Structure 1
């Protein structure tokens, strides 16, 4: 591995050349033309923190025996903080058929059985290392991820109240973004990539994130709400208030006024659900309405 304070040019001489860029809202990636490595440039929200968080977490995950991408080099440049990761073999999980979704959920449940560990003194927060002098609660960790404008919305106090019971949940290590494209399968071997959203919190955060992305992405692919395989998604552990939180977080990170499209009664319906099947069906209706209103995926 290249040491610290190296340049992207030095990394490219060692691991590149890198091909065309794939640009996302908060990151840009470029694959080496030989397929051996990936350059990731962090931009937007806390790029330096995300770089350190991901590099640190994959090292811990590797020590646990999980198959994760090795960090080959890391540094800063004018475009933002960056890391080079060794590419792993495998094909991302798919969601285009019910069978593919079933297999994906099997992988999620198997992985989280190994991932969701707890330890004495573990507190909620971003990354896998606790921050000294900053005690946090489960529900406050979730609320802190919203923009300041949300604190003036009519649902803010109600959401804070329904999230309070999370304090009884154990704090565990989380991946934070277990989307299908982050799980690579090769010869029945599972690898996990993209750890920048790693965190410490209640296990239901990982499960809720998986369910939310499945429902949202299927709807934005053109699947009708009535055709979303709720019975398969309902295999995941369910928490209505956390599902409502995840829906609002999505809207908060889209266009400035999208958060105001969510009616309080619809939000309350999602948060008040006790059963996974009805909760995810309510989510599908809410996301479908947002798609019709023009909210970007």
Structure 2
């Protein structure tokens, strides 16, 4: 770890030079020219909290035997909150064919089997951001999810119905979550899988990780031009399913895009989705909804 007075310039001299920046909604990354390291600058929502969560979770995941990037340097200051990671080999999981999707879901299940079972040795684990229990009031699982929305969502007509629909999560064990599982965060290197991007790590019900997988898969296929009817929803039934969590994930995506996007989904649509008992029907409904949202210009 660097000293607190380490500057970005010093880090670039040690680990760089870094190439052109790639900017996403909540982070800007730059690869070193020699491909040995990656500089990540956290932006948007709680950058310093996300930096700390990622560093803590990566270090704990490494101790647990998961293949994760090494933290080479991390700090916060005038340059913002940032971390330099060691680069890992491999390529993101492919999802362009049914066979590739089956392989990707297999990697997900292998990872989550190892990750989620950690709660057996963490009986006192409580819902929250990051893997470390913090002092403070105990928040119910459904409230932990709802607290991730912006305050404007509390005034939406679907708020109370979604709150009620999420109540059954209280019977679920609290486990360690990656928090942002999608193909580009699982790097395949022959028979080995490396797991990156842990800034959204959390403690909560396991179905949140599985719902993230489904949501990102459906959304990204649609935004790449796959028609809704061709999204292979049947393959995704391998994963545990919760319709209320699926509705929550859809709304969270909209809440974090343009301010007006959250009003594009009606209370009736949310109610229908949360009440769906069959995973294929729920995933098909999600595909239709996301396709319509894409058509009206909601950014990916």
TM over 0.5: yes
Question: Within 2, Cα distance between the matches of 1:78 and 1:28?
Answer: 16
The answer to whether residue 269 in structure 2 is matched with residue 266 in structure 1 is: yes
State the shift of 1:3 in Å: 4.0
| 1:246 match | 249
Asked if the contact 2:243/2:277 (under 8 Å) is kept, the reply is yes
How far the C-alpha of 1:133 sits from its partner, in A, is: 1.7
Give deviations 1:18-43, integer Å, cap 9, x for gaps: 11111111111111100000000111
* Alignment of 1:291 onto 2:282: no
Structure 2 distance, partners of 1:106, 1:95, is: 12
Q: Give unmatched runs, 5+ long, in structure 1.
A: none
Matching of residues 176-187 of structure 1 within 5 Å? 176-187=179-190
CA shift, 1:45, in A, is 1.2
Deviation at residue 279 of structure 1 after TM alignment: 1.1
The equivalent position to 1:139 in structure 2, one of 138, 142, 146, is: 142
Q: CA RMSD in A?
A: 1.0
Cα distance 1:3–1:65, how it changes in 2: closer, same or farther (>3 A)? farther
2:168 to 165, 178, 194: 165
Deviation at 1:2, TM superposition (A): 3.6
Aligned counterpart, 2:193: 190
Contact 2:158–2:266 (Cα < 8 Å) also in 1: no
Tell me what 1:64 maps to. Answer: 64
Match of 1:234, SS state, is helix
Indicate the residue corresponding to 1:106 in structure 2. 106
Partner of 1:232: 235
1:89-110 CA-to-partner distances (Å, cap 9, x unmatched) read: 1111011111111111110001
**In 1, Cα distance between the equivalents of 2:35 and 2:252?**
35
Q: Are the aligned partners of 1:40 and 1:83 in contact in 2 as well (CA < 8 Å)?
A: yes
CA distance in 2, matches of 1:170, 1:243: 18
| SS in structure 1 at match of 2:251 | helix
Residues matched between the structures, number: 297
Could you report, residue by residue, the CA deviation over 1:219-243 in whole angstroms, capped at 9, with x for unpaired residues? 1111111100011112111000000
Q: Specify the SS of the correspondent of 2:123.
A: coil
Aligned counterpart, 1:80? 80
TM-score in terms of structure 1 length: 0.98
Q: Which moved more, 1:26-35 or 1:75-84?
A: 75-84
- SS, match of residue 21 in structure 2: strand
Higher alpha-carbon deviation: 142-151 or 258-267: 258-267
Which residue is 1:97 aligned to?
A: 97
The offset of 1:134, in angstroms, is 2.5
Asked if the contact 1:55–1:71 (Cα under 8 Å) also holds between the matched residues in 2, the reply is yes
Shift, 1:79, TM fit: 3.9
Provide structure 2 residue ranges, at least 5 long, that are not aligned to the other structure.
none
State the shift of 1:290 in Å.
1.0
| 1:11 equivalent in structure 2 | 11
The answer to whether the Cα contact below 8 Å between 1:40 and 1:82 also exists between their aligned partners in 2 is yes
